[in-house]
Structure formats: C-alpha cells, structure tokens
Amino acid sequence: STFVTRQLRESLERNTELTDAPTRAALIGAHLVGVALSRYILRSPTIVDLALDELVERVGATAQAYLSD
C-alpha cells in the first residue's frame, strides 16, 4: 500500500494544487489495495463476480469522490 500511496501522492502533488494530496492519496491507495486484496487474494465472491467494467466504474467513482472538493 505504501508504494501505491507514494505513486499517487507524487502524481497528485505534481499535477494538482490540492493541499491535502497525501491524505487523498492514502485514501485512494487503501481503497485500491483493499479491492485488489478482496478480488484476487481473498476471492470474495461478490467482488470476483463483478464484470471488470463495472468494477472499474464503481471504484473509479469512489476514487473521483476522494479527489473532489
């Protein structure tokens, strides 16, 4: 999760004027790692059964919410 968060934070700091980029990056990173863990490691049936397009749409909407003011 640290790697994901660092990559996100660096990108947000370079490309936005968000003053709380580290917090937002940490939230998005935790969410992405949690979804990946649930889908590919824990094999949670509800998450595994989602079509990739639907998963991307739902997770993307949540990530976008973390970036919105």
Note the pLDDT of residue 21.
93
| CA 46 vs CA 1, 3, 19, 33: distances in Å | 23, 27, 36, 16
Q: Tens digit of pLDDT for each residue in 33-58?
A: 999 999 999 999 999 999 999 999 99
Q: Is the pLDDT of residue 63 over 90?
A: yes
Amino acid letter, residue 68: S
Alpha-carbon distance of 49 to 39, in angstroms, equals: 9
**pTM listed for this prediction:** 0.85
Q: Is the pLDDT of residue 1 over 90?
A: no
Q: What is the DSSP letter of 51?
A: -
SS3 at position 69 = coil
Q: Which helix (H) or strand (E) holds 24?
A: helix 21-36
